[in-house]
Structure 1
């Protein structure tokens, strides 16, 4: 059993304990999570793992600059003395910001002098903070962390906005919205039309509907309605591994082969009916969310079985597979879950007919969402997935309230961010600019159109439950208008 220990600040708030228990260990430059557990004991945060030797990084949720961020250290080795938690978080942020700055400079971008000044100040604060263990010197470490985080955020967003504008003028990226309602939009339509280029129509697996002609006729009408109005249409996801419904199928099924056979029949029915009308498909969402009752091997076998017909049924069609929690927090806490980046690499090599990976960037709500990451960490995530041979799509979702949402899936999600409509809109703008700036990202989709119909993210709709548009809708409209101008 290996362990990494951190000394906690003396003034640690009581509520920080629950946050710190979500910390986990990761390996490599891509921060691939490894099975580990975090404990608080005698003023220390202790992370333990039974996996391998060599250095590891630690991903730790920490409140700074008005948000709770999932931050990461540089690589560490077990030591008899505990590391200072704030100092190591500051060192990790400084390292990543400096590496990013060097990369952007090598690419020909001229960084402002104020950036270098702030970075040098953060480095000085960190070095001085290591001279003595006292409250005064601890505050220097905290200031170093705040400066590194704020400077990295400002530089990343400034750079990405410039790149996004340049890219959109050259090759505009389509913006999609997911429409999960069984009826067509009414008063929402005009606002959607001016903000989006395409629509994604979920078609969740339901074996009871295989022979229900009324069900399929309703799907026909829905698809034709959007196509008649010249919307680009993506059909799917068909199998959403993170949904309550699909997890229930997994838990209740005693015959995996029979379940896979039903799923293949459902996919075949969809493909035969809509292959000519629909050019774009998403087969699986949250493909890394295996049932916790399965071993990793059984989960991969089930996924492979679901994908087996894709090459035959959807030959030469763009087909994507979605990954939730793309940093892989779930794999750290449930050892039999796949690491998203490694699963994506497996899919890219499997020659299964998959052309794109759809990364879910859902922040601030559990169990499906990720802990909030700095913009630089999000940009680096896109870089890691860009090394694969598959295109990248992004699916965005953010809560606008912390209240219970009975139409969300599931309804009792834990919202861990200061969710307001203003917060949702600001973060949507950040994610849009990060995605639009990245050359391998080929599409961005907003996951929830309306709170008035079943949806994924609590209060995550472009329209609230009363049909009123939220400010986040304007962020999409502005970017599409700039592209069309």
Structure 2
């Protein structure tokens, strides 16, 4: 059992208890039972190992972010939550600062100033632990400064890496991951892709023009429910026209997922066979064969499977692993020249606080790679701000740490992203998920895109970034997650994405 005192006490809510979880050194979380006892958050689990607490916490100027403590031992005395969250954040900023300095990052003076302020306020918070209200106030001030330092640091990294890529283009001697080229060797940099999912309908002329001004790639969704609504009868009309439109306008085509393990995407008739895995495997194989044979030569990347950790159909984890592996094997067999990807949503696996799984996303990906089935890349789907079923918002260096971990698997990475632009009810959203009142606005969505997407594109391991929901005027997955609102008007985030393409991608290519 671990206990945390929460100040101000009104922040110790049931929402905090529902979202908080404990993870070990391998970043895998344990199933936990949580309780709110006055000003104390209590977490019960079946082991007593040291753990990091991950919990949502409001920070002025930054919104609500899921922050993590350092590694803490179980003890009788409760920890002071604001203090431990800021301790963990400062350590993360300092460690990343040191790591990037080693590869030649020129650190702006403002980063050092903000970090010094954060440490000074943290010192006051630590001294005032016997006065929790005062300590919490200093902790909040420290957190603001630490997160400002993190944002400045990440922005400096982004700008200097892209500057290194421009130098590399001229000289061919700079390693793009090293802002000052300390590696001193040729390090080819692939041209990264920025795209969005087209949705289930054809784009109108107005939307098409803005799409082409913003993106160099498009994700063409293969919705099994629509493609094969009746067993054995396929309808390709929309996908045919979408792919033709992409090829006409020179967009890279990312098609899929061929198999999306989401009950909203699977055809109703498939559930008649869910207790017969071999039959399900054959139906999936038929879909993959039909799709790949039809579009071979017209698609630049296949997403073979997505949301592979979803608890759908009556399958064991081993069967799900086998099913996903089959989609990759068959795709590569039919189209060996086109890269085959698998997409994993919720890469932090927050859902493991509710249920144990043998194959969290990272381990699932590692197992597929070790199987040597021809997997060409990994996609992480992050639907930010949605709970449950999405990814809780985090600060930029926590995203960096996740990307670092997945980069160790040795395959090109892709990101599939969306974030809300409002928090009120969305009648056209299929998923009915909670959004904290006041938490998301068009400006917040724009800020998220402006901060994370250039940072991701700066990483050499990232091959592409896709916004996975285009408009809110048609039925869609996540509330307010599109780039066009319910009146088909472009949101500020779309303009930001267009600016990102102009500033960062063309400078690399042209």
| TM-score, length of structure 1 as denominator length | 0.91
Alignment of 1:284-363 (within 5 A): 284-291=305-312, 294-336=315-357, 338-363=359-384
| From 32, 55, 58, the counterpart of 1:60 | 55
Over aligned residues, Cα RMSD in angstroms? 2.5
CA contact under 8 A between 2:52 and 2:70: conserved in structure 1? Answer: yes
Alignment of 1:219-298 (within 5 A): 219-246=239-266, 253-291=274-312, 294-298=315-319
CA distance in 2 between counterparts of 1:93 and 1:249 reads 49
How far residue 197 of structure 1 moved from its aligned partner, in angstroms, is 0.8
CA contact under 8 A between 1:356 and 1:392: conserved in structure 2? Answer: yes
How far residue 249 of structure 1 moved from its aligned partner, in angstroms, is 7.2
Task: Tell me which moved more, 386-395 or 243-252.
Answer: 243-252
CA distance in 1 between counterparts of 2:165 and 2:419 reads 25
Unpaired stretches in structure 2, ≥5 consecutive residues: 170-188
How far residue 294 of structure 1 moved from its aligned partner, in angstroms, is 4.7
Q: Aligned in 2, Cα 1:337/1:19: closer, same or farther, shift over 3 Å?
A: farther
Secondary structure of 1:130's counterpart equals helix
1:458-479: per-residue Cα shift (whole Å, max 9, x none)? 2222222222111111112112
Alignment of 1:10-21 (within 5 A): 11-13=8-10, 16-21=13-18
CA distance in 1 between counterparts of 2:13 and 2:282 reads 47
Task: Tell me which moved more, 309-318 or 92-101.
Answer: 309-318
Secondary structure of 1:194's counterpart equals helix
Alignment of 1:80-479 (within 5 A): 80-131=76-127, 132-134=129-131, 135-167=133-165, 170=169, 171=189, 172-206=191-225, 207-209=228-230, 211-212=232-233, 215-246=235-266, 253-291=274-312, 294-336=315-357, 338-410=359-431, 412-416=432-436, 418-479=439-500
CA distance in 2 between counterparts of 1:258 and 1:270 reads 19
CA distance in 2 between counterparts of 1:43 and 1:69 reads 20
1:30-67: per-residue Cα shift (whole Å, max 9, x none)? 5222222322224321222224x532111111111241
How far residue 193 of structure 1 moved from its aligned partner, in angstroms, is 1.0
How far residue 296 of structure 1 moved from its aligned partner, in angstroms, is 3.4
How far residue 212 of structure 1 moved from its aligned partner, in angstroms, is 3.0
Match of 1:484 in 2: 506
How far residue 23 of structure 1 moved from its aligned partner, in angstroms, is 0.6
How far residue 449 of structure 1 moved from its aligned partner, in angstroms, is 1.8
Secondary structure of 2:205's counterpart equals coil
1:129-184: per-residue Cα shift (whole Å, max 9, x none)? 33341133332233223322222222223322332454477454221121013324
Task: Tell me which moved more, 14-23 or 143-152.
Answer: 14-23
How far residue 282 of structure 1 moved from its aligned partner, in angstroms, is 0.7
CA distance in 2 between counterparts of 1:209 and 1:389 reads 40
How many matched pairs?
Answer: 478
CA contact under 8 A between 1:167 and 1:436: conserved in structure 2? Answer: no
Task: Tell me which moved more, 74-83 or 252-261.
Answer: 252-261
Q: Aligned in 2, Cα 1:70/1:448: closer, same or farther, shift over 3 Å?
A: same
CA distance in 1 between counterparts of 2:147 and 2:276 reads 50
Secondary structure of 1:188's counterpart equals helix
1:310-359: per-residue Cα shift (whole Å, max 9, x none)? 33223232111111111110123221373222222112212122211111
| TM-score, length of structure 2 as denominator length | 0.87
How far residue 295 of structure 1 moved from its aligned partner, in angstroms, is 4.3
CA contact under 8 A between 1:319 and 1:356: conserved in structure 2? Answer: yes
CA contact under 8 A between 1:398 and 1:460: conserved in structure 2? Answer: yes
Secondary structure of 2:29's counterpart equals strand
CA distance in 2 between counterparts of 1:250 and 1:16 reads 41
How far residue 431 of structure 1 moved from its aligned partner, in angstroms, is 1.6
CA distance in 1 between counterparts of 2:282 and 2:388 reads 28
1:368-409: per-residue Cα shift (whole Å, max 9, x none)? 321110011111111111111211011121111223333333
Unpaired stretches in structure 1, ≥5 consecutive residues: none
How far residue 203 of structure 1 moved from its aligned partner, in angstroms, is 0.6
Q: Which has the higher contact order (CA 8 A, sep 6+)?
A: 1
